[in-house]
Amino acid sequence: MNLELLNETAVKMVTPGQGLLAADESTGTIGKRMASISTENNEENRRDWREMLFRTDKAMQDHVSGVILFEETLTQMAKDGTPLADLITKNDALLGIKVDKGAKPMALKSGETITEGLDGLRERLYTYFEQGARFAKWRAVIEISNPDHSWNATPTYGAIKANTQALARYAALCQEANITPIVEPEVLMGGYHGIQTCHDVTEQVLKSLYADLYEHGVKLEGTILKPNMIVPGKRCPTQSSVAEIAERTIQVLQDTVPSSVPGIAFLSGGQDNIEATENLDAINKIGGFPWKVTYSYGRALQQAALFAWGGKSENYDDAQKAFNHRARMNGLASIGKWDSSLETV
């Protein structure tokens, strides 16, 4: 393990004013995105969509420190035969790779999942490193049940522990292969729960995560955390202010995340475009924390560009303009310099 390399990668991933483009949607997930613009989910269309993003040089150079890829994309060629990976690295962005195999139902635990993919991971990681990947991502999914369903309350301690142990095993394997791990324990925001419940569950998950990372010998200075923000569930009748979201998010992170972690790159988790930007900006405007705080957004960076593109080559310029704009807005938010007036320019 080359800790200097792992730390160098982690620090670059959270370069001020930059963040991560999560372009690692599985074939099924990107199919849903394609369906939303009435476009067939085939390899050519997936390639054209991602190629358009990676050729948006202004966004890629100024506001993207790295790109998380699905395995298909790591070795895929652009229409002109250029490796898509080369389009990323020519703009001084790092190559990342999603290595988990998705969340599957846990045995004997209704409504809870465990992320799979540890079998054969060591060998895959060495191959990914040879192909140019310098960081990886593994996502654990934590579901909060409807408060009315006290008879089946989730998450359970067992499900949290199983997922954080898997994250720690993954992270250790990554560092062995000199790949910097992103650890992503996502507490989902789609439920009925209030912000206090999200606060409590996220705190429990992160405490479990860092205990397990320690037990597995993972060097925190060679990692990045990709957490959810502290928000109420989308179906909760009481929604919180931006100020409360920022304050609670910082509080939970300060109570759980060691200062040796170089950076935190938030997932958007179903927030809409401007909401994700505004909340990130509010967190950075408060500041005062030991880690760099930025974004690792998929939909919140891509959605506007996706609808502008609509699966049609004649819309290429409009799609790139939309991607440039969202990348710039989030780049500003990552240093606490975003303002809503910039959205109308």
Which ranges of 216-315 would DSSP assign to H, the alpha helix?
A: 242-256, 273-286, 299-309
Q: Are 158 and 204 in contact (CB under 8 A)?
A: no
Q: Which residues contact 4 (CB under 8 A, 6 or more apart)?
A: none
Cα 27 from Cα 46, distance rounded (Å) = 9
Cα 47 from Cα 170, distance rounded (Å) = 28
pLDDT at residue 149, as a whole number: 65
Is residue 150's pLDDT more than 90?
A: no
Is residue 290's pLDDT more than 90?
A: yes
Q: Write out the residue range of the structural domain in which residue 253 sits.
A: 3-344
Among left, alpha and beta (phi > 0; psi -120 to 50; other), residue 240 is beta
pLDDT at residue 163, as a whole number: 98
pLDDT tier at 344, thresholds 50, 70, 90: confident
pLDDT at residue 209, as a whole number: 98
pLDDT tier at 9, thresholds 50, 70, 90: very high
Over range 212-222, report the average pLDDT: 98
Which DSSP symbol is given to 124? H
What are 223's two structure tokens?
């990692």
Q: What are the Cα distances from residue 329, in Å, to 23, 247, 282? A: 18, 21, 13
Over range 126-140, report the average pLDDT: 98
Supply φ then ψ for residue 272, to 5 degrees.
Answer: -75, 175
Cα 289 from Cα 294, distance rounded (Å) = 12
Q: Is 44 a catalytic residue?
A: no
Catalytic member of 51, 112, 184, 203? 184
What are 149's two structure tokens?
């369903």
Q: Give percent helix, percent strand, percent coil of the chain, each to the nearest 5.
A: 50, 15, 35
Q: What is the mean pLDDT of the chain?
A: 96
Which pLDDT tens digit goes with each residue over 45-79? 999 999 999 999 999 999 999 999 999 999 999 99
Better pLDDT: 153 or 179:
179
Q: Is 247 a catalytic residue?
A: no
What are 194's two structure tokens?
């209030």
Q: Are 178 and 130 in contact (CB under 8 A)?
A: no
pLDDT at residue 288, as a whole number: 94
Over range 224-231, report the average pLDDT: 98
pLDDT at residue 45, as a whole number: 95
Q: Are 293 and 266 in contact (CB under 8 A)?
A: yes
CB-based burial label for 169 (10 Å; 0-12, 13-18, 19+): middle
- Percent of the chain's residues with pLDDT above 90: 94
Can you give the CATH number for the domain in which 239 is found? 3.20.20.70
pLDDT at residue 148, as a whole number: 66
Is residue 151's pLDDT more than 70?
A: no
Cα 211 from Cα 161, distance rounded (Å) = 10
* Helix (H) or strand (E) run with residue 260 in it: none
Indicate if the alpha-carbon torsion angle 27, 32, 37, 38 is positive or negative: positive
Which DSSP symbol is given to 222? G
pLDDT at residue 270, as a whole number: 87
Is residue 216's pLDDT more than 80?
A: yes
CB-based burial label for 257 (10 Å; 0-12, 13-18, 19+): buried
Number of domains in the chain: 1
Catalytic member of 12, 98, 137, 226? 226
Q: Are 307 and 273 in contact (CB under 8 A)?
A: no
Q: Are 292 and 336 in contact (CB under 8 A)?
A: no
Q: Which residues contact 9 (CB under 8 A, 6 or more apart)?
A: 94, 134, 135, 180, 222
Supply φ then ψ for residue 208, to 5 degrees.
Answer: -65, -40
pLDDT tier at 137, thresholds 50, 70, 90: very high
Q: For helices 27-36 and 43-54, give the axis angle rounded to 10 degrees.
A: 80
Q: Are 41 and 306 in contact (CB under 8 A)?
A: no
Over range 137-141, report the average pLDDT: 98
Cα 176 from Cα 115, distance rounded (Å) = 21
